[in-house]
Structure 1
Amino acid sequence: MKYQHVLSAFAAEPWAMERSKLSVIADFLAFKAAGGEVAADEMAARITKKQDGEIARREGAVAVIPIHGVLAPKMDMMTEISGGTSYMGIQRALHAALADEDVKAVVLDIDSPGGAVPGAQELGDEIRALRGGDKPIIAQVNHLAASAAYWIASQADEVVVSPSARAGSIGVYTVHEDISAALEKAGVKRTYISAGDFKTEGNETEPLSEDALAFIEERVSRSYGRFVAAVAEGRGVSTAKVEKDYGQGRVFFAEELVEKGMADRIGTLGETLARFGANQSPEPIRKLRAANSQRAEDASVDTVLLAKVEAALGIS
């Protein structure tokens, strides 16, 4: 039954995450709560992925910090389940990169559906406090920055989105799950014994009262207000513009993000690194790409010239 406690605590947490991803994690916890087992090698693979997410790498003079998977304040069971990244780990990597004399720029390589609200504001505030220096902090959406991940991205010096990337999902939500029927079916009768009028308020063994619902709604609204204010500060716009134009929970594609002012430019991670002198492509690949680009440009010029000649000769 221990995972039912975990499931209840998970459900009650305020989340800034894509709902589809949250549903997957909730389903996994429900599977465990029902007695399901995960093979040791599968869990080991998840944990390895989680640990990899904490490790920054160098590309020339650019420090690349992976921000992948579900985001959480610390490395815990949630990040083991999701293969996510911790806010604390991101901050440590950022501090190390900025303190490294050989690093000239920092790229946050983001591919995340978001995560927990606790910790997102602190990391976002820290990124905003450190930007604007000699070492630019670039948020590279590669290929998803939803909810808490966009909260973080919006605080960087610049937001770059890959051509097929998506970002946004500015919103906060939580859920309450009444599992009393499931407990009854399992033959379990749980009784909470507490002191304090609201100590067991919103527990999972009974319906949510109107008073408890109002209290939780106020908590969610407060977190949402902080999210909107942080994005507005990070992007240099008003909170009214964020509310009006930034989707209120919707996710947008690259072109829309630039049009709305949620991102600064479209470009791949490789192109972003190349801007700061860290070209990942081998020399033969760069030569081939340049040659093909030149051929395409020449063909375009030839087409225009041919059209002009045909027009002059009256050829249709």
Structure 2
Amino acid sequence: MNRLLDVVTGAWAIIPDKLVMIANAYERHLMGEKADLKAIEASIGKPLGSAPQDYEVVNGVAIVPIMGTIARRANLFTDISGGASSDLIGRDLRAAAANRQVSAILLHIDSPGGTVAGTQQLADIVREVGAIKPVIALADGTMASAAYWIGSAAQAVYIADTTTEVGSIGVATVHRDVSAAEAQRGIKTTDIYSGKFKRIATSYAPLSEEGRASIQDYIDYLYGQFVDAVAANRGATADKVLSDMADGRIFVGQQAIDAGLADGVATAEQLITRLAAGEFTVPGVNPVPPSKSRADLPNSPKGTTMSITREQLAAESPDVLAEIQAEARTAGATAERDRILGIEAHAMVGHEALIASLKADGKTTPDQAAAQVLGAHRAALAKQATTMAADAPEPLPAAPTSEPTAGAKAKPDQKAIAARARELVATAEAAGQRMSYAVAATKAAAELAQG
């Protein structure tokens, strides 16, 4: 429950009505109301928990969808809203940038916005990928708040028609005082904390003036980050964004173009055609022409992984290759360090040379090293026991006390006693114990006499 509360009361860049819907859904959950999953699935026209869309490729253009409420990771709210994961979108963008079948990227957006968490990182990835291949954003229905923060990082922003809604630049949150609801259920939560501001706006008590001021400062700071990002992405000043774009309004159709939020009107099909023809290019980078046979290729199925050689990746995306190589070197160094430390943990006195050779071969695992060291130690103990037994005097025969009676067992001969005594000495040594040959011989004679 605390995890859900953190999601609801976190910072959102989203259309206000959508945030109210999400908060109400949480409140119903808090009061113990179970969600009618079948009714929700029927209302949104898809099963909850369905797999997110992967990008597809049409005529060399990767179409990356951003549909529904945006959150860093998928949850029930994003399922209900037809949500999108900013982490997965970033993954798809980088994959499209490295895909040699892709010459340009279209962000196909219909979203009311979402959480602030993860939004700036995804906008940074849009700019990063846009330095490799052209990236165009298309608002098809709604591109508001966090969705606009992300889409504005593209090389250009288009709207699908004159009814498309764009804007709602701002940041919001809600404070949920759940103390009365808990009281009805016979529950009282007490915050225990250190640091003045740690729980200054707790949800388990009415909001104080200090708590309200703390939340407002936090939201104002994030709003400033949003405004600065849009100004940088759209080539405008922060004052221009504040005066014409970022007062929280939704701009419809031509209003969005007049305000500087969008660059024109175009359908998805029109933009795909223009991108495939190489109309949009990356500044300072030669355009990558579509393959002559690309028009004859079928669209890449969703979820398909394209193969690419190291040479192609180095030519088309050297930054991506460098990042992969750096990660591989770090992972390799960590694995080798762990391997060596694991081998050293099995070191034993007298086997220093073996440990050194196992560390140096670059392939022996700690488990394999343990087996080799234990085997070598057992062999050394067995050799030591054999040497001790060879140097020991033969045991004296026990004096007979009486003539053997009929049916009595014959006494074992001295060779059998000596052989068993050596076995007992070797077994004790292997177990880390010491046993003299004389004691072993006595035990051996007793065992053999008993049969």
Same fold by TM (over 0.5)?
yes
Is 1:112 the counterpart of 2:111? The answer is: yes
Query: Which amino acid in structure 1 is aligned with residue 239 of structure 2?
Result: A
Counterpart of 1:47 in structure 2 is 49
**For the residues of structure 2 that align with 1:199 and 1:229, how far apart are their CA atoms?**
28
Shift of 1:22: 1.2
**For the residues of structure 2 that align with 1:34 and 1:116, how far apart are their CA atoms?**
24
> Identity across aligned pairs (percent)?
37
- TM-score (normalizing by structure 2): 0.57
In the TM superposition, 1:127-206 aligns within 5 A as: 127-133=126-132, 135-163=133-161, 164-206=163-205
Larger Rg: 2
Shift of 1:11: 3.3
Counterpart of 1:244 in structure 2 is 243
Gapped runs of 5+ residues in structure 2? Answer: 278-451
**For the residues of structure 2 that align with 1:156 and 1:83, how far apart are their CA atoms?**
23
CA contact (8 A) 2:167 2:246 kept: yes
Deviation digits for residues 23-49 of structure 1 (CA, Å, limit 9, x no counterpart)? 11112222222222234555681211x
CA contact (8 A) 2:68 2:81 kept: yes
**For the residues of structure 2 that align with 1:208 and 1:31, how far apart are their CA atoms?**
21
**For the residues of structure 2 that align with 1:161 and 1:40, how far apart are their CA atoms?**
34
Deviation digits for residues 141-174 of structure 1 (CA, Å, limit 9, x no counterpart)? 0111100000011110110101121110000011
Shift of 1:82: 2.8
Classify the secondary structure of the residue corresponding to 1:257.
Answer: helix
Query: Which amino acid in structure 2 is aligned with residue 148 of structure 1?
Result: A
Query: Which amino acid in structure 2 is aligned with residue 46 of structure 1?
Result: L
Counterpart of 1:225 in structure 2 is 224
**For the residues of structure 2 that align with 1:64 and 1:89, how far apart are their CA atoms?**
14
Of Structure 1 and Structure 2, the greater strand share is in: 1
Decide which moves more: 115-124 or 175-184.
175-184
**For the residues of structure 1 that align with 2:212 and 2:68, how far apart are their CA atoms?**
30
Query: Which amino acid in structure 1 is aligned with residue 144 of structure 2?
Result: A
Shift of 1:81: 3.9
Is 1:91 the counterpart of 2:90? The answer is: yes
Deviation digits for residues 7-65 of structure 1 (CA, Å, limit 9, x no counterpart)? 532332011000111111112222222222234555681211xx233x11111211001
Is 1:262 the counterpart of 2:261? The answer is: yes
Shift of 1:240: 0.5
**For the residues of structure 1 that align with 2:123 and 2:184, how far apart are their CA atoms?**
45
Shift of 1:74: 2.1
Query: Which amino acid in structure 2 is aligned with residue 210 of structure 1?
Result: E
Between the two proteins, the alignment pairs up a number of residues equal to: 271
Shift of 1:213: 1.8
**For the residues of structure 1 that align with 2:92 and 2:4, how far apart are their CA atoms?**
31
- TM-score (normalizing by structure 1): 0.80
**For the residues of structure 2 that align with 1:252 and 1:188, how far apart are their CA atoms?**
45
Deviation digits for residues 230-283 of structure 1 (CA, Å, limit 9, x no counterpart)? 0000000100000001141101112111112111110111221222349xxxxx
The Cα RMSD (Å) is: 1.9
**For the residues of structure 1 that align with 2:92 and 2:213, how far apart are their CA atoms?**
39
Is 1:9 the counterpart of 2:3? The answer is: no
**For the residues of structure 2 that align with 1:6 and 1:219, how far apart are their CA atoms?**
20
Decide which moves more: 267-276 or 192-201.
192-201
**For the residues of structure 2 that align with 1:222 and 1:199, how far apart are their CA atoms?**
18
Query: Which amino acid in structure 1 is aligned with residue 16 of structure 2?
Result: R
Shift of 1:132: 4.5
